[in-house]
Structure 1
Amino acid sequence: MISSKTSFIALIGNPVSHSLSPIMQNAALQYLGLDLIYIAVPCKDKDLELVLNSFKKINCKGLNITIPHKEKVFNLCSEISPIANKLKAINTLKLNSEKKWSATNTDVEGFIYPLKNLNLAKKKGIVLGSGGAARSVIQGLINLNLSTISVISRNKSSLDELIKNFDNQIQLQGLLNSDDQAQILIREADLIVNTTPAGMKTTKYENNVIPYGEAFWRSLNSQTIVYDLIYNPAPTTLLKFSANKGCMTIDGLEMLVAQGIKSLSFWTDGLEVPFHVMNDALKKYL
């Protein structure tokens, strides 16, 4: 029941109308019996500082930050967790005792949630794409102790920068998607993760496409796990294709739920909600 005492948590981004976060977070807040609601607030670049400063002065208990603000929000925060600093991206904020923004990133924990019990230590992984999401994925794969991590991208400059970012942790192998050597890597990979938007259900991208085209996947073998960070549509064209080849497939829904659980814990100083509460709410909605 929303009353005059109800506080709120908001998702800030542009666009936000496609987000499933309000569905799962409101289910969790209801389960916990908290007098809180979760809303999505579209926010343009030029308004980010104004919006964040305004939210400090009203009954806002926390924020999720999504594209395109995950990096721009850094200079509006007074405390930033080591993982957010390392990833150069923030996705969760709360107000500290001095009414200033304290920031973290829950994407890495979200990403590794469905992989934790798959014994990937000393295995070979491939990351497709070199944008912001690829950073969280690479950090997650490092945490899972993979022996080799290769990144395949269309964009040489963002690929080079990404590899440089992880120089002090691991020697990443970077390839352009047109490189013939990619076929050898795909044949030998234990895990392939798609962080590109190819196949996403939006007007901008055709959602029947497969990252880098079907020919790129010709050497995929049935022992490889294929993980697509996209959760809408489910399954994506890539995951259908991979399942037909006999591969184990994972979509982005578990990551979405797991990072949401970690964000909620950050806002509520450690409260935990069972995974199924958020997951069931999304399954019902989708």
Structure 2
Amino acid sequence: MSRATRMTCAVMASLQASPWRVMDELRVLGRAGGGAQVRADIIGDVDPSVLRDHIPGDLIYSLRSTSAGGLFAGGMDQRRRRLFQAARRYDLIELEGGRDTTPEILAGIPPHRRLISWHGNGLSLAGLMARFTRLTAVPARHYLMVPHAYTPQQALAPLRLLRLVNRDNVTAFSTGETGACGRILGPWLGAPMVFGQIGGKAEEVPTVERLLRDYPFPSLPEVRRLYGIVGQSVNASLSPRMHNDAYQALGLPALFLPIATKDFLPAWEALTAGFEGLGMPMEGATVVAPYKESALRLAAVTTGPAGRAGAANVLVRTEAGWRAHTTDPIGVVGALGRAGVRLTGRKTAIVGCGGAGRGAAAGLLRFGVTPTLVNRGADRGVRAARLLGLDYVPLSRFVPADYSLIVHATPVRDDLLFPVAQLARDAIIVDLTYGRRPTALVSAARRRHLRVIDGWEVLRIEVARQFRLMTGHAMPQSLSLENAK
């Protein structure tokens, strides 16, 4: 089957825990028709019959060696024996190119049982193609190439390889900080498998549950344009789930990706150019801290709110170039309005003078509220105050009891930056930080029975606005954050 006619991909779990410990996750995978790559180098040899009751897809035996990033450090005799034993029970045996493609091993494992893999350092497209040519000289049912990318260009090379070879038995993606987006995008470029993780540490590698909840897998709906969220740590963001659900509901040929990077401008320039070269241009993105100021400088066109805040959290492609927006103002003001809060007469403080705090201040100013800015670092606090024409108070001298509305706009989750014990009973706390559990500030405020607007409410409003800015469509109201919490 050519990749042009294939409308689904196999969701594969890299199984890194005992099946008995992760049975619920395996059942979820099974309902999606997925398969599993059993990492025997991590969890030992598993009887595949335990898995076949729950997983209808292929079972792959993987004895990843230390030179390929795994844990197996035994000798070749032991390795050969375990591979041959697994070949009698598993659908596919992962053979490492070079190490396992010896005449003896190939004689014992027929081509239809072989998945030949390569794991190594990132390469250019030319280097990756040379490696691919050597790998595919050995007949196999499937080939897997996983370089560790150190640059955005290296992260793009597996995707360019998929486009170039145009085969339906090759899966290629990179690991590394920008690897998650390529892992997800690969099936639309021909990869028949997408790998998630069950068990182990899933910081960079998405879990199978996240793959199935945040993206349209195992189906592959038409994708003609890309959107994404860019930041240092975005692989756990809820934005992909919300945007991709909305694309499916509206029938939009789009895909929303996480793009994690520690160097925004080079990554943005390389990836946007690379995606365009693949025929799926990046049309817009949400940009999160600490890159909101860089996003503003990147833009050819700046909207008024972004200019006033000195930061942007949305970039949208236009004929004139990237257009910078900020939804931080409408997020805070909109959440307060939806909660029925009257802003008139409220003495307000904003704790945190980064892009989110400045955006919140700009939004409140438009509604006649003049907030005081509070920040731990004086340089950023003074600069924000000058930019917005507001007063600044160092965090060490901040007296929360003087204010009836406090907006917390720092990324701090687990520490209380200021006490809430002396706040008046009618005080309102807005915390822009969200997560699966309440922040220290939200917990402390709720214990005092104060009125709290948490980051989920702000996120709901901001994502809907970002969706409209990027796509020109309203996000369906039926989509909810409740299942994402």
TM range (shorter): 0.7 to 0.9
RCO greater where, 1 or 2, for CA within 8 Å and sep 6 or more?
Answer: 1
Q: TM-score, normalised by structure 2?
A: 0.50
- Aligned with 2:475 (options 269, 273, 278): 273
> Relative to structure 1, is the Cα distance of residues 96 and 173 closer, same or farther in structure 2, using a 3 angstrom cutoff?
closer
Letter matched to residue 474 of structure 2:
E
**Distance (whole Å) between structure 2 residues aligned to residue 178 and residue 86 of structure 1:** 27
Question: Which of 434, 457, 470 in structure 2 is aligned with 1:254?
Answer: 457
Q: Does 1:111 align with 2:332?
A: yes
Q: TM-score, normalising length from structure 1?
A: 0.83
TM-superposed CA distance for 1:49, in Å, is: 2.5
- 2:420 pairs, out of 204, 208, 217, with 217
Q: Which of 348, 352, 361 is matched with 1:138 structurally? A: 361
CA distance in 2, matches of 1:84, 1:140: 10
> Compared with structure 1, are the counterparts of its residues 128 and 218 closer, same or farther at alpha carbon in structure 2 (3 Å cutoff)?
same
Q: Does 1:63 align with 2:266?
A: no
Given residue 329 of structure 2, which amino acid in structure 1 is its aligned partner?
A: V
Partners of 1:75 and 1:49 in 2: CA distance: 13
Distance 1:37 1:122, change over 3 A: same
Question: Residue 81 of structure 1 aligns with which residue?
Answer: 303
Q: Kindly provide the amino acid, as one letter, of the partner of residue 454 in structure 2.
A: D
Could you tell me how far 1:121 is from its partner in structure 2?
1.8
Report which stretch shifted further, 155-164 or 1-10: 1-10
Question: Do residues 189 (structure 1) and 403 (structure 2) align?
Answer: yes
Quick check: 1:196–1:211 contact (8 Å CA) kept in 2? no
> 2:373 corresponds to which residue?
151
The reply to whether residue 2 of structure 1 matches residue 220 of structure 2 is yes
CA–CA separation in structure 2 for the residues paired with 1:34 and 1:211: 43
What code does the residue aligned with 1:67 have? A
The question of 1:38 aligning with 2:261 is answered no
1:127 to 1:25, Cα distance in 2 relative to 1, 3 A: same
SS of 2:386 mapped into structure 1:
helix
Instruction: Call closer, same or farther: CA 1:77–1:153 in 2, change over 3 Å.
Output: closer
Structure 2 residue matching 1:86: 3-state secondary structure:
helix
Kindly indicate whether residue 485 of structure 2 is the aligned counterpart of residue 283 of structure 1: no
Q: Deviations over 1:59-111 (max 9, x none)?
A: 2332222223222233433222122222221222222236x322222221122
Q: Structure 2 CA distance, aligned partners of 1:247 and 1:106?
A: 26
Name the SS for the 1:126 alignment partner.
strand
Distance (Å, rounded) in 1 between the aligned partners of 2:276 and 2:299: 12
How many Å separate the matches in 1 of 2:225 and 2:311? 26
Aligned match for 1:21, one of 234, 239, 250? 239
| Matched position secondary structure for 1:40 | strand
Q: State the SS of the aligned residue for 2:396.
A: coil
- Contact 2:313/2:327 (8 A) holds in 1: yes
1:229 to 420, 427, 432: 432
Matched, 1:52 2:275: no
Change (3 A) 1:55 1:92: farther
CA distance 1:139–1:44, shift in 2 (3 Å): same
Identity percentage of aligned residues: 25
Kept after mapping to 2: 8 A contact 1:12/1:63? yes
Q: Distance in 1 between matches of 2:377 and 2:475?
A: 39
- Write the distance in 2 (CA, Å) between the matches of 1:103 and 1:256: 19
**Whole-angstrom CA distance in 2 between matches of 1:274 and 1:142:** 30
Q: Match for residue 344 of structure 2?
A: 121
How far is 1:227 from its partner? 0.9
Gap change, CA 1:254 and 1:274, over 3 Å in 2:
farther
User: Does the 8 Å contact 1:49/1:76 carry over to 2?
Assistant: no
* Alignment check: 8 A CA contact 2:228 2:259 kept: yes
Contact 1:16 1:41 in 2 (8 A): yes
- Tell me, which stretches of 5 or more residues in structure 2 are unaligned? 1-218
2:171 maps to none
**Could you give the per-residue CA deviations for residues 35-78 of structure 1, whole angstroms, max 9, x where no partner exists?**
21211122331433222333455423322222232222334332
Secondary structure of residue in 2 paired with 1:8: strand
Q: 1:230 offset after TM fit, Å? A: 0.8
CA contact (8 A) 2:312 2:355 kept: no
In 2, Cα distance between equivalents of 1:13 and 1:176 = 27
Flag the structure with larger Rg: 2
Distance of 1:274 and 1:8 partners within structure 2? 19
Structure 1 residue 234, shift from structure 2 partner: 3.8
Supply the AA of the counterpart residue of 1:273: M
Match of 2:129 in 1: none
